[in-house]
Homo-oligomer: A and B are copies of this chain.
């Protein structure tokens, strides 16, 4: 049981949320996720995921020149992506509630 397993299906939503703020490119996304406290994200995770989301029409991409390096592929949310984000939030809150109610049954600290 590792942290990586806990992320399955959750990174998707987090990435949608980050793109929702403003368009980002993959390489930048990895850095942003780390800032939010996630363990460093492999590019082998992020790029396939972005491509999958584009295939599912949750995001669109446009290439833009970089000041240093090859072109950046910027992603933004589609309407469908916005909806998916909202649904993710609902699912996440539900999951969070269930897990916390299981965990707090045992007096895990004070009280």
Contacts from A to B (Cβ < 8 Å): 1-10, 12-14, 17-18, 20-21, 33, 36-38, 84, 88-89, 91-92, 94-99, 101-103, 105-106, 108
Give the number of copies in the complex: 2
Say which residue of B36, B92, B101 sits within 8 Å of A6 (CB atoms). B92
Say which residue of B5, B17, B101, B106 sits within 8 Å of A9 (CB atoms). B5
Say which residue of B6, B33, B98 sits within 8 Å of A8 (CB atoms). B6
Q: Are B6 and A2 in contact (CB under 8 A)?
A: no
Q: Are A99 and B6 in contact (CB under 8 A)?
A: no
Q: Are B92 and A36 in contact (CB under 8 A)?
A: no
Known interface pairs A14-B99, A37-B97, A38-B98. Does A105 touch B21 (Cβ–Cβ under 8 Å)? Answer: yes
